[in-house]
């Protein structure tokens, strides 16, 4: 079956440091890839997406590139802020035989990011 | 715009009790789903629905029932609560649209403790 593996956390950084959170996946089909973010006490929010190989998703200074050859979708940000402290989830949405995903996602275990001033 | 609304926010049950977690969305989304979030395991799919009257099992369905009588509502029922069901539960919805892009809209979660 499908699976997503994220780097283990927690990750602690100082403000303005560079961030990388690794994510690799296995899928039976050709998935779409997502990063979701969860702020304390809230539900998950879509951060960025990529739907085909070599696509780069970006939002709020975060970027991730869909690498089919290495089955990876690593999240990066050049300069983190205290407000980026949250839990980050990598996820994939695979298509079934009928060509739809029905909104089902497979999630990684999540990476807790803490940014200090 | 309310989005996805879950109630209650917190709940404590004793082993063997039953309860229903409520979920409602006002975006006219066709797809709805329930996930549970446990430390170190990310989110795992419990049940999902592709429209009113149609539901199916996800990765961890045992101990949970669902039904979908309307597009807006997708309640999750625990028939006989067990300590292993202590978790944070999230309801999500998404539209039927582009096949390769189905972002989920999440509620704020229900934190359930079973003693």
Å between A59 CA and nearest CA of chain B: 14
Which residues in A lie closer than 8 A to residue B31 (C-beta atoms)?
102-103
pLDDT tens, A36-52? 999 988 889 999 999 88
For chain A, positions 51-110, list CB contacts with chain B under 8 A: 51-52, 89, 93, 95, 99-110
Q: What pLDDT score was predicted for residue A68?
A: 94
Q: What pLDDT score was predicted for residue A42?
A: 87
The CA distance from A86 to A25, in Å, is 22
Q: Name the nearest CA neighbour of B73 among B46, B34, B111, B112.
A: B34
Contact status of A40 with chain B (Cβ, < 8 Å)? no
pLDDT tens, A50-90? 988 999 999 999 999 999 999 999 999 999 999 999 999 99
The CA distance from A64 to A20, in Å, is 10
Residue in chain B nearest A97 by alpha carbon: B99
Say yes or no for a CB contact (<8 Å) between B43 and A107: yes
**How much is the mean pLDDT over chain A?**
91
Task: Say if residue B101's pLDDT is above 70.
Answer: no
In the block, residue with structure tokens 């690593």: A74
Neighbouring C-beta atoms of residue B111, cutoff 10 Å: 15
Provide the CB-side half-sphere exposure for B109 (13 A, CA): 19
Structure tokens belonging to residue B4: 């996805």
- Is the distance from CB of B34 to CB of B23 less than 8 angstroms? yes
Structure tokens belonging to residue B94: 């998404």
Position B58 confidence tier, pLDDT thresholds 50, 70, 90: very high
Average pLDDT of span A93-104:
68
Over its C-alpha atoms, chain A yields an Rg (Å, rounded) of: 14
Residue in chain A nearest B39 by alpha carbon: A109
Which residues in A lie closer than 8 A to residue B71 (C-beta atoms)?
none
Contact status of A49 with chain B (Cβ, < 8 Å)? yes
Q: Name the nearest CA neighbour of A81 among A27, A14, A4.
A: A14
Q: What pLDDT score was predicted for residue B102?
A: 66
């Amino acid at each position: 079956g499908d699976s997503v593996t994220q780097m283990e956390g927690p990750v602690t950084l100082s403000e303005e440091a560079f961030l990388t959170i690794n994510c690799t996946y296995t899928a039976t089909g050709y998935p779409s890839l997502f990063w979701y973010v969860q702020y304390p006490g809230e539900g998950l929010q879509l951060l960025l997406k990529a739907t085909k190989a070599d696509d780069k998703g970006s939002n709020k200074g975060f970027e991730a590139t869909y690498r089919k050859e290495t089955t990876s979708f690593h999240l990066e940000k050049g300069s983190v802020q205290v407000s980026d402290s949250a839990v980050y989830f990598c996820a994939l949405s695979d298509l079934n035989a009928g060509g739809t995903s029905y909104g089902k996602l497979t999630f990684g275990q999540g990476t807790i990011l803490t940014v200090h001033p | 715009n309310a989005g996805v609304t879950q109630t209650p926010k917190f709940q404590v049950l004793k082993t063997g009790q039953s309860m229903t977690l409520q979920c409602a969305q006002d975006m006219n989304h066709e797809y709805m789903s329930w996930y549970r979030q446990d430390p170190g395991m990310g989110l795992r799919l419990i049940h999902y629905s592709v429209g009113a009257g149609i539901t199916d099992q996800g990765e961890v369905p045992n101990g949970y029932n669902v039904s979908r009588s309307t597009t807006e509502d997708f309640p999750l029922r625990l028939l006989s609560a067990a300590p292993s069901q202590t978790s944070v539960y999230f309801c999500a919805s998404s539209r039927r649209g582009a096949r390769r892009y189905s972002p989920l809209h999440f509620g704020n979660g229900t934190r359930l403790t079973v003693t």
